[in-house]
Structure 1
Amino acid sequence: MTHEVVSRIEELSGRLAATAEETERLGKLSDESVKIIRQAGVMRLLQPTDFGGYAAHPCDFAEAVMAVAKHCGSTGWVCGVGGVHPWEMALMDRRLQNEVWGENPDTWIASPYAAQGVATPVEGGYTLRGRWQFSSGTDHCGWIFLGALTAGADGKPLMPPKVMHVVLPRRDYTIVDDSWDVIGLQGTGSKDVIVDGAFIPSYRTIDSDAVAAGEIAAERAGRTETVYRLPFWAMFPLGITAAVVGIAEGALAAHLDYQRDRVTAMGTRIKDDPYVLSAISEAAADIAASRTQLLDGVSRLYDKAAAGAEITFEDRSLVRRNQVRCAWRAVSAVDEIFARSGGNAVRRQNVMQRFWRDAHVGLQHAIHTPGSLYHSTALTIMGVEPEGPLRAMI
C-alpha cells in the first residue's frame, strides 16, 4: 500500500516540477519547494511518533524521496539527506529532542557527518572547531549534525581516531553563502559551515560507533520501534541513493516525453528507430532494477530487526554493495538515453540536461564509492574477515 506521504507528493508533483528551475537558479530550495515538502510531510517520515512523525518503514521513506527527486533532483536530494536526520535524532537524549522539536515538529536538521572538526573536552561537554563542506539544505534548517574527532586534554585528536556526531543550534555555526558553485544539484544549497569554539553539552553528542551498530543506540534511547534498530550505514546511504534513482526515473520520463514525437535531422521518427527504442527499454529495465534492489536490501534488514535477529557485518556489507551498484546502474542508464537524445538535449530549456547533471553529481557522494567497499564485500562473501579501513562506512 502506498504511504500517504508518497500519495501527497504525487498529488503535488506538478507544483514541484514547476519550481525546479527556480530552485536551481537560487542555489537553494525555493520557498515553494520547501512549502511542498512540509505540506507532504516528507521530513517527518522517519521522525518518532511522540514528536509528530510517522516512524515509517524505511521503504516508505525511500519511495517518498524517489517521488520527489523524479520531479526536482535538488529537492529530492535534500529530502534524502535531511530526511534521515530525524531518524538519528530519535536516538539522541530526550532533552535534545525536546529542544529541537518541542515547539515545532517541522524543524529541519542539516549535517554533514564527515569528521572535519575537532571536539575538545571541557567541563560538561566539548568545545568544537572546524569547517565542514556539503551541508545540504542548510539554509532551511534550525539545527545541524556534525561529525567531529574527539580530542584529548591537549586539544589534539585521539589516536586511533574516535568520532562523535554532535548537534548544534543554528546560532552556533556560520553558513558560508558563496561556497556552493557546482554543475549539478545546484539547488541543494550544500554550503560549507564553520564552527569556532562553540560549546556542546555532552547530551548533544553521540558516539558514531553506537549509531552504526543500530540496536545499541536504540536500546540506550528507549526506542522500541523497529526502524530505530537499523544500522546507520544502511539508513544514511538509503536516502542518498534513493535520490539518485529518483533522478534517473525523472530523466527517463523526460526522455520519453522528448522522444515521443521527435524526428531526427535525417527525417527518421524516433518511434521508428529500433536502436533508440532498444536503448530506452534497457535503460528503463536497469532503473527499475535499481529501485527494486534498493528497497529489497533495506527491507531485508528491517525484517531481521523486526524478528529480533542480529544484523551481521555480512548483512550490512551485502546491502551496502547492492546500494552502491544501484546508483551506478541507474546513472549508467541515464547516460545511455541521454546519448541518444540528440544535440538539443543539452539546451538549458530541456529538462533532460538538468537530470543528467544532477545524476552525475549525486554519484560523486562518498557513499557511492565502490572501491574499498567492493573489496570488503568480496572478502566477506569468501569467508575472510575484512580489517581496519575495509570496514569503514559499512
Structure 2
Amino acid sequence: MATVAALAVDGEDLVDPGMPDAAALPDAAALVARAHAMIPVLRARSAQCIAERDVPAQSIADMQAAGFFRILQPRRWGGYEMHPNVFYDCQKALAQGCMSTGWMYGVVGCHPYEIALFHEEAQAEVWGDDPATLVSSSYQPVGKVTVVDGGFRLSGRWGFSTGSVHCQWVVLGALVPPAEPGGAPDMRAFLLPRSDYMIDRESWRVFGLQGTGSHDVIVDDVFVPDYRTHRSVDGFLCTNPGQETNPGPLYTLPWAQVFMRSVSTAAFGGARAAIDAAIDIAQNRVSTNTGKPSKSDPFLLAAIAKAHAQVIEMEQTLRLTFDDLMDHARRGEAIPMEKRTLYAYNSSSVVRRMADLVDDMVQLLGGRAIYMTSAIIQPWLDLHAGRAHVANDPANRTQDLIGGILGEQPTFTFL
C-alpha cells in the first residue's frame, strides 16, 4: 500500500507545512498534481474502500498531509483560502481513482467553507486546538428543535452523513419552530461536537458509492448554543456572521453554490474512469460470436466520443461558473439571481448526464462489461447512486431557472 512519501510530485514532499502565511501557501497547480498522483493509489485501495463502506484511514491521512482539506479553509485558521476551482480540480482527480473517496472529499472538504460562515466563537471551537479538524454533515431537516435560553435542544436521526467516522464535528439540518403562530419556520444548520452524537455504522448499505461512509447520525436531546447555528437565509442573502472575521471575497459567495457542486463534481472523476475502462475494453475485446473487434464498432466509438466530449464541456462550464462567481465577489457585486438559478440547474444536471453517457457505453461493451471485476462497473454504479442526492435532480431547479429569466423570486432559496 502506497504511503504519503510515495506520492511526492517532482520531488516535493506532500506533508502540509500548516502555515497560513501567503508566501508559504502551496501552488494551486502543485495541489492538483498531488491529487492526480493519488489516482493509482486510490484505485488500488478502492476494493478496501467499498468492502469497508468507508474511505480507508490511510487515504484520509494522505489527503490531510497533501493539504486538500485546507483549500477552502480561511488562512487565519491555517487554511489556503483558494479559488474554488482548485478544490473541484482536486476532487475530480481523487474521484477518478475512487469515486467514493472523491465524493467524501467533496462533502467533507467543503465544510471548512461553511464553518467560516459561522460565528467566530464556533470557528474557534472547531479549529482553535487543531486546524486539521474535519466536519461531516446531513442537511435533511428532520431534527426536533426546542427553543431554550441561549440556544436550542436538538434530537433526531439523520441519514447520509458522509465521512462521519473520520470527523470530530457534524453539521445537522433542522427547522426552528416559528416564534409566532402561523409564521414560517427558520431553517438552520446545527454544529455539534463528536461527544454529542452517535454514528450508526451499520446503516450505510447501498449499491453504489458504498465507500463514502454516509452513516446515520443520532442525537438525543443535546443543547446547541445559538452561535453554533447557521441560518439558511444568511447563506442565501450572503449575510453570514462569519464574514465579519473572514472578509475575503471567497466567503461572500452563496454557500449553496459551493456545496451543490461538491455533490456533483465527483461524477467527473467517475465518468473519466468509466471512459478509460471503455477504451481499454474496446482496444482488447473481440466478440466471440461475430469475430469483430470492438474498436471497429462505430456505435461504441460514437458513444465513447460523445462521453469524452461532453465531460469536457461540463468541466469547462464548471470552471467558467466559478470564475464568474469569483469575479463578482472580488468586485463586491451581488450575483444576479438569473445566474444563480442557472448555475444551480447546471450543477443539478451533471450526474444524470454523465450516468446516461456511461449507460450508452456499457450497453455496447458486451459480456465483458457485466462482471463485477470490470473496471467500468463500479463508476457506473457510483454515478447512478449519485443521482439520488436531492441536489442532483434538475427537476427541483426548472421552475426557478425560468423564474430567474423572468425576474421572479426563487421558490427554493438554496441557491
TM-score interval for Structure 1 and Structure 2 normalised by the shorter chain: over 0.9
Instruction: Report the Cα offset of residue 336 of structure 1.
Output: 1.3
Q: Hey, what does 1:149 align to over in structure 2?
A: 175
Q: 1:315 to 1:152 in 2, by over 3 A?
A: closer
Equivalence for 2:344: 320
Please name the residue that 2:72 is paired with.
46
Equivalent residue for 1:393? 414
Q: CA deviation at 1:218?
A: 6.1
Contact in 1 for aligned 2:119/2:242 (Cα 8 Å): no
**Aligned residue identity for 2:397:** L
- What's the RMSD between the two structures over aligned residues? 1.9
Structure 1 residue aligned with 2:198? 174
User: Helix, strand or coil: the match of 2:100?
Assistant: helix
CA 1:275–1:2 in 2, change beyond 3 Å: closer, same or farther? farther
**Superposed CA offset, 1:162-211 (max 9, x none):** 11111000010111121111000000111111111111112111211102
Given the alignment, which residue of 218, 223, 233 partners 2:246? 223
SS of equivalent to 2:97: coil
Residue 386 of structure 1: how far off its partner (Å): 4.3
- Supply the distance in 2 between the matched residues of 1:202 and 1:179 (Cα, whole angstroms): 30
Evaluate the alpha carbon distance shift between residue 218 and residue 39 of structure 1 in structure 2; reply closer, same or farther with a 3 A threshold: same
Distance in 2 (CA, whole Å) between partners of 1:91 and 1:21 is 37
Report % sequence identity.
35
Contact kept, 8 Å, 1:290 with 1:329, in 2: the verdict is no
Judge conservation of contact 2:97–2:273 (CA < 8 Å) in 1.
Answer: yes
Compute the TM-score of the two structures, normalised by the length of structure 1: 0.94
Residue from 91, 103, 109 that aligns with 1:65: 91
Structure 2 equivalent of residue 77 of structure 1:
103
**Residues 290 and 330 of structure 1 are in contact (CA less than 8 Å); yes or no, is this contact kept in structure 2?**
no
Counterpart pick for 1:307 among 317, 331, 354: 331
Match runs of 1:102-113 below 5 Å: 102-113=128-139
- In the alignment, structure 1 residue 357 sits paired with structure 2 residue 378: no
State the SS of the aligned residue for 2:332: coil
Uncovered stretches (5+) of structure 2, i.e. residues with no partner: 1-26
Q: What are the Cα deviations for residues 93-148 of structure 1, in whole angstroms up to 9, with x where unaligned?
A: 22222221222222110001121112212122111011111000101000001111
Aligned 8 A contact 1:131 1:192 in 2: yes
Partner of 1:29: 55
Query: Is contact 2:118-2:242 (8 Å) kept?
Result: no
Q: Which of 35, 47, 59 is matched with 1:9 structurally? A: 35
* Cα contact 2:169–2:191 (8 A) shared by 1: yes
3-state SS, counterpart of residue 131 of structure 1: strand
Using structure 2 for the length normalisation, give the TM-score. Answer: 0.89
CA positional deviation for 1:363: 1.4
Contact 2:141 2:173 in 1 (8 A): yes
Match of 1:244 among 254, 267, 274: 267
* Amino acid of the structure 2 residue aligned with 1:340: L
* 1:259 counterpart = 2:285: no
Which of the numbers 66, 69, 82 marks the counterpart of 1:56? 82
Structure 1 278/13 Cα, relative in aligned 2: closer, same or farther at 3 Å? same
Aligned length in residues: 388
Question: Secondary structure of 2:265's match?
Answer: helix
Aligned counterparts of 2:241 and 2:71: Cα–Cα separation in 1: 17
Gaps of 5+ in 1: none
* SS of residue in 1 equivalent to 2:131: coil
Deviation track 1:329-348 (CA, whole Å, cap 9, x = no partner) reads 22221111122222221212
> Aligned-pair distance for 1:158?
7.6
In structure 1, how many angstroms separate the alpha carbons of the residues matched to 2:91 and 2:212? Answer: 14
The DSSP-based 3-state class of the residue aligned with 2:73 is coil
